[in-house]
Amino acid sequence: MKKLVCVLLLLCLCLSLAACSGGTKGGTTTPTNAPSGGNQPSGGGSTPTNAPSGGNEQPAEDPMASTLVIGASDDFTNEGKNLIYDMLLFRIDSYSASDYVVSSTHNDNYTEFTLKVTPGVKFTDGTPVTADIIKYTIESQLNTAPNGFAGLIEALEVKDDSTLVMKLTAPYMNTEYDLTYFFVVKPGEISEEGNFVEWVGTGPYILTEHQQDVRAEFTRNEDYWNPAKKGAPKTVIWKVLPDETTRVMALEKKEVDILGLGSHAASQLSNANLKDIENKGELKIMVRNGTSPATYMYNYVEGPMTDIELRKAVTYAIDRQNMVDVLTLGYGRPMGTFLGPEDKYSNRNGEEYTYDPEMAKKILADAGYKDTNGNGIVEKNGDGKDIVLQFVTMSSDTYRTIGVLFGEYLKAVGIGMEVNSLERNAFLERTNSGDMDICMCHPWTTAIAYFNMRGSTSEYDNFGPGFGVNDKFPEYLQTVLTSTSEEEIQATFDKIWADIYAAYVATPLYASVSTYVHTDEVSGFIWTRGTQNLIDLSEVVINRK
């Protein structure tokens, strides 16, 4: 369970729940590998000794002409780490990986993987990447990076300076995909608790200044080993603006250039603010439809939602199209499945939750739920106790709005609900203890990775109970992790989806849009790449007006 919770902290990245990585605590610090003197990106009053003098002086370059300022809701250490660190392998789509810092080959039954270091990769302090470093990279993140091979490793053998062999005790087809979640780090950069304690990577930028939860500054790594993805801006400033109104005002005043980099490519602006920005037409909005729907988990382990008939009624009561209309920019789509049909191993059985309030009322009546005191809220078997469900979510405008809409849908069929919109720590306390009836849940990502992390157990974690609805689920997990047959894995997921849908343990709502919002002075942004929503600044153009 301890390992499961650690892994889930990493999954919480999209919802701003992740806190696996620590950061530099306290005040402003300058990393040991930061450029010094006149090379500091923030400028200053220093003049190089060979600067022209007198009337031959050249006009100083405007530092903001090559500086990108990112507005963010939290510190870069949550979802901006790839400015400093590369990943071992790179995910080219949802299900496969390609060569990156290492290349990978495997034997026929996926029990042995040979990782070869790409020539020329080095850390920004000059340390070359070796097989020993790859070994440490894997060992140091086994309990924090999402993966299904942690319990299968038989050996990590360094064959030579550039070759590492990973041997598993059982086949695992997803190994290379899972390695795309591992940041390349030097020994000592990650603490025993899994927190980053140093910030020297192989990536496109060097951290030069960091004030935790306030500001970070980066300078371009001129010797980056991957020229095609070298950063375009010479300097990047990451400005933390937790308040949404403050973020919008900073963007409108051009105090920041863009919102939405990191944080799962979500601008973290409410629908109302996005609509207002769209209507004004002064800022640029980039929109991309998502595929994994927002999901809310029912506490089917204890409390009133242990009654499957109540869970059915709640599921039929939800008007997903109305939720899309209220919460998106007119894009997005209502979804009654946990993964989109285009996703690998998604539901092929045809089950899809639909909106049917009359069916919800009938289910309640047939199960003995009646309103005996005329207050519009049903009771179970006339016991005089109104069914009022505790809805627990995070404290953002969007999450609160979802709670309000949820409450309206349930009230229309006779179910009461109280919305508990909480800050992160309070939310985690409630979800991990099971003190809720419905709670915000991390949406399904890719089928195997998500099922491995919270699919085979009903124990509580950061998102309430897991999806392990019966005692067959550990067996299902073993099959999808160890099978080398795509047909067998799909057939197993067919059973998984059938059991989940029949149990009514959670509800998908809608697939939202991802948005970048930026000023007209910057362009060339690329949608987040690969695993970990990697920030790609290689084509950014800055044109100050």
CA-nearest of 457, 327, 437 to 393 is 437
Q: Going residue by residue through the chain (545 aa), what tens digit of pLDDT does each one get?
A: 444 444 444 444 333 333 333 333 334 444 444 433 333 333 333 333 333 344 445 555 677 789 999 999 889 998 899 999 999 999 887 778 899 999 999 999 999 999 999 999 999 999 999 999 999 999 999 988 888 899 899 999 999 999 999 999 999 988 998 999 999 999 999 998 888 999 999 999 999 999 999 999 999 999 999 999 999 999 999 999 999 899 999 999 999 999 988 766 566 677 778 888 988 999 999 887 777 899 999 999 999 999 999 999 999 999 999 999 888 767 678 999 999 888 889 988 888 999 999 999 999 999 999 999 999 999 998 788 999 999 999 988 889 999 999 999 999 999 999 999 999 999 999 999 999 999 999 999 878 888 988 999 999 999 999 999 999 999 999 999 889 898 999 999 999 999 999 999 999 999 877 788 999 999 999 887 655 578 999 999 999 98
Q: Tell me whether residue 12 is in a domain.
A: no
The total number of structural domains that make up the chain:
3
Q: Tell me whether residue 49 is in a domain.
A: no
Q: Tell me whether residue 173 is in a domain.
A: yes
The Cα 23–Cα 456 span in angstroms is 32
Tokens of 390: 């505790």
Q: Check whether residue 447 and residue 422 sit in a common domain.
A: yes
Show the 3-state SS of 435-450: CCCEEEECCCCCHHHH
Tokens of 473: 């689920």
Residue type, 253: K
Q: Check whether residue 285 and residue 309 sit in a common domain.
A: no
Burial class of residue 505, CB neighbours in 10 A (0-12, 13-18, 19+): buried
Is the alpha carbon torsion for 44, 49, 50, 55 positive or negative?
positive
Query: Collapsing DSSP states into helix, strand and coil, what is residue 87?
Result: strand
The Cα 46–Cα 401 span in angstroms is 51
Q: Check whether residue 129 and residue 174 sit in a common domain.
A: yes
CA-nearest of 465, 449, 448, 446 to 457 is 465
Q: b/e per residue, 45-75, with b = 16+ CB within 10 A?
A: eeeeeeeeeeeeeeeeeeebeebbbbbbbbb
Q: Tell me whether residue 95 is in a domain.
A: yes
Q: How many CB atoms lie within 10 A of CB 358?
A: 9
Tokens of 125: 């302090």
Q: Tell me whether residue 47 is in a domain.
A: no
CATH code: domain of residue 133: 3.40.190.10
Query: Collapsing DSSP states into helix, strand and coil, what is residue 105?
Result: strand
Q: Check whether residue 266 and residue 333 sit in a common domain.
A: no
Within 8 A by CB and 6+ apart from 470, the residues are: 499, 503
Q: Tell me whether residue 260 is in a domain.
A: yes
Q: Check whether residue 343 and residue 376 sit in a common domain.
A: yes
Tokens of 333: 């789509």
Q: Tell me whether residue 125 is in a domain.
A: yes
Domain boundary among 181, 216, 248: 181
CATH code: domain of residue 299: 3.10.105.10
Q: Check whether residue 306 and residue 395 sit in a common domain.
A: yes
Tokens of 16: 């701003």
Give percent helix, percent strand, percent coil of the chain, each to the nearest 5. 30, 20, 45
Q: What domain range includes position 524?
A: 61-81+203-289+514-542
Q: Check whether residue 305 and residue 271 sit in a common domain.
A: no
Please give the pLDDT value at position 328.
75
Please give the pLDDT value at position 35.
39
- Whether the model pTM is above 0.95: no
Whether 221 and 203 have beta carbons less than 8 Å apart is answered as yes
Q: Check whether residue 118 and residue 131 sit in a common domain.
A: yes
Dump strand ranges (E) for 79-191: 90-91, 97-98, 102-106, 112-117, 153-160, 163-168
Q: Check whether residue 96 and residue 148 sit in a common domain.
A: yes
Q: Check whether residue 319 and residue 440 sit in a common domain.
A: yes
Tokens of 163: 């070759």
Q: Check whether residue 299 and residue 317 sit in a common domain.
A: yes
CA-nearest of 462, 504, 473, 442 to 306 is 504
Whether 283 and 517 have beta carbons less than 8 Å apart is answered as yes
Q: Tell me whether residue 218 is in a domain.
A: yes
Q: Check whether residue 360 and residue 461 sit in a common domain.
A: yes
Q: How far is CA 291 from the centre of its chain?
A: 14
End-to-end CA distance of the chain: 54
Please give the pLDDT value at position 83.
95
Please give the pLDDT value at position 59.
54
The CA–CA distances, whole Å, from 114 to 107, 167, 178 equal 9, 9, 15
Whether 70 and 237 have beta carbons less than 8 Å apart is answered as yes
